[in-house]
Structure 1
Amino acid sequence: MRLVAITGCDSGLGWAIAARAAREGFVTVAGMYNGVDTNAAEGLRKLCAHPYLLDVTNPESIAGFRDYVNCLLGENPNYKLHAVVNNAGVMTIGDYEWQTPTMIENSINVNLLGTMRVTSAFLPDLRTSALENTGPSKPRIINVASHCGLQPLPGFAAYSASKAGVKAFTTALRMEHLRHGLSAVAFVPGGFVSSSNIITNQGAHGNDMLEHLNDEQKSFYEKRITALSNYLQAAMGHNGGYDTMKDENIIETFIKALTDDNPKDLYKVESWRYMFYYNLFKLPLPEATLGWLVKKFLTFPE
């Protein structure tokens, strides 16, 4: 049986892909920042997944996560390590000048360095699994990237930087481990903010932004920050539960990344709207025209 370890499984995309992996028959270890005594963790247990407390910013927590996975592998000789999925992520929306150092550093620390830390912990095990693999399906690392990492956007500077780093890191890993039969895959799930809890704290972040700014910055930006916070809170039109991700295209694309015998370097979910705008963004347009298109795409309040 193939074992997959996934980070960031408390809600949204992470919970959905952990649940689906378990339903597909994978031995699924779900890293959960909020712990294992939650409704989300209980929901995964009912699917025979293994919730485990995990903070990807804490090396000791990651070491414990790896030890737990290796304990399962050691106790069950028929289990084989198939994949590590780096899904844990945070997002704060707002101009770079508005964001506090904590917000900026958290984006890098969780999204990029968290991915790197977990990968470092599991790479020897994954490489060994790949070298010992006799089946058609390659062991793999799957890193959740973002359209914002492929095409940076205003309001997403730190997040875009972190996800662009994830994509570059994944590409380099893929080349480094090609000779070992270990694959590295970037998974870009597309837009799913309204079915995720990733911006649940946006209202509090807006208040923190205002507190962080000096008087000149506050008078210049206060109306925009307040309008954006109100807009994003209204966009969170779901119940805040853990089982909110219902987009089958996203989940099915992830399953392809997880199960294809020779996985591609990139699995990308792109709606027609995303495809239309992102292709326009690539054209050599005048900067004013590009700016107008970006505003139309984001639909943020002025």
Structure 2
Amino acid sequence: MSIMRVVAITGCDSGLGWAIAARTAREGIVTVAGMYNGVDTKAAESLKKLSAHTYSLDVTNPESIAKFRDYVKRLLNDNPNYKLHAIVNNAGVMIIGDYEWQTDSMVENTINVNLLGTMKVTSAFLPDLRQSAIQNKGASKPRIINIASHCGLQPLPCFAAYSASKAGVLALTKALRMEHRKHGLSAVAFVPGGFVSSSNIIANQGQQGKNMLEHLNEEQKSYYGQRIKTLSNYLQLATAHDPSYDSMKDENIIETYVKALTDDDPKQMYKVESWRYFFYYNLLKLPLPEAFIGWLVKKFLCFPE
């Protein structure tokens, strides 16, 4: 009886999540796609056509996570040749703007989705993954794949909460990898690089800019108001094309994900870097004067003043 690998993925409504769910299904792997917007969307229907299982999932809701895990568990119980191979913690949010501008709810939601959501989903599936790893008689290790970010490796201005959440994801991944090495269970960080133009991750940035401005006091509005408006307008124009759920076409990102998913003994980190990312992020590692680092960051971000 041939073994069928099962992979559960969060945040599959668009962008990277939809692309990796689609590719996982095309690899002939049993794919369970967590959909924040539900299972009656075009994105969900397209995944179903690829034989993926779609299921509603909100990674900030413990009951939703439990139901998602139970659905995967039923698939495993109903199909003796199915084996849990991986969970992929992809669900994520990002709000761009100085930390002082952001409301408590913006900061809390960033941490709740990106870090605590990853932790809660991992906790839900960890016993099953550990057992799968201990029972593993195949060549390929079961694994946890956490979607990280360059911002977790090198924090950037306007990305404080996001950087903190992704740095936490990287630390969590390293700790899990050390804890479960003896079980044959691996934990992997996947850093996909920049893909904002093919994602909806900052689709609400215009409204978020308005929300930032409204919650500031009069002194803050006077000091920051024009800068917030300028940055919000710039980011709105950058995302005005409204990418569809299947806009992610970067084969380098998708193929690197496939390696993280299928390598028999996966590395601790898989990272995709354009030459621009490679150049700037390696310069930022050097012990350069702080003023020069600040200049480099401004050149890299290219945000309006």
Q: TM-score, normalised by structure 2?
A: 0.98
What is the alpha-carbon distance in structure 2 between the residues aligned to residue 234 and residue 188 of structure 1?
A: 26
Does residue 1:38 correspond to 2:38, yes or no? no
Which of residues 86, 111, 114 in structure 1 aligns to 2:114? Answer: 111
Query: Number of aligned pairs?
Result: 302
Structure 1 position 299 matched with structure 2 position 302:
yes
The one-letter amino acid paired with 1:301 is P
Consecutive aligned runs of 4 or more in structure 1 exceeding 2 Å deviation = 237-240
Identity of aligned residues (%): 80
CA contact (8 A) 1:145 1:163 kept: yes
Structure 1: any 5+ residue segments left out of the alignment?
Answer: none
* 8 Å contact from structure 2 (residues 197, 243) kept in 1: no
Determine the structure 2 residue equivalent to 1:212.
215
Using the size of structure 1 for normalisation, the TM-score is: 0.99
Instruction: State how 1:191-230 maps to structure 2 within 5 Å.
Output: 191-230=194-233
Is residue 90 from structure 1 mapped to residue 99 from structure 2 by the alignment? Answer: no
Matching residue within 28, 31, 36 for 1:28? 31
Distance (Å, rounded) in 1 between the aligned partners of 2:301 and 2:10: 28
Q: Verify the 8 A CA contact 1:195 1:238 in the aligned structure 2.
A: no
Which residue in the other structure is 2:177 paired with?
Answer: 174
Q: Distance in 2 between matches of 1:293 and 1:266?
A: 25
1:24 is displaced (CA, Å) by 0.4
The Cα shift of 1:287 comes to 1.0
| 2: CA distance, partners of 1:215 / 1:285 | 37
What is the match of residue 235 of structure 2?
A: 232
C-alpha distance in 2, partners of 1:200/1:20? Answer: 24
Secondary structure at the counterpart of residue 212 of structure 2? helix
Q: Which residue of 1 aligns with 2:165?
A: 162
Runs of 5+ unmatched residues, structure 2: none
Q: Render the CA deviation track for 1:52-80: whole Å, top value 9, x for unaligned.
A: 00000000000000000010111111110
Q: C-alpha separation between the residues in 2 aligned to 1:296 and 1:276?
A: 12
Opposite residue 100 of structure 1, the aligned amino acid is T
Opposite residue 116 of structure 2, the aligned amino acid is L
- Whole-Å Cα distance in 2 between the matches of residues 228 and 237 of structure 1? 14
Q: Which amino acid aligns with 2:264?
A: D
Tell me which of 137, 145, 148 is aligned to 1:145. Answer: 148
Report the alpha carbon displacement of residue 241 of structure 1 after superposing the two structures with TM.
1.3
Distance 1:237 1:274 in 2: 24
Residue 18 of structure 2: aligned partner: 15
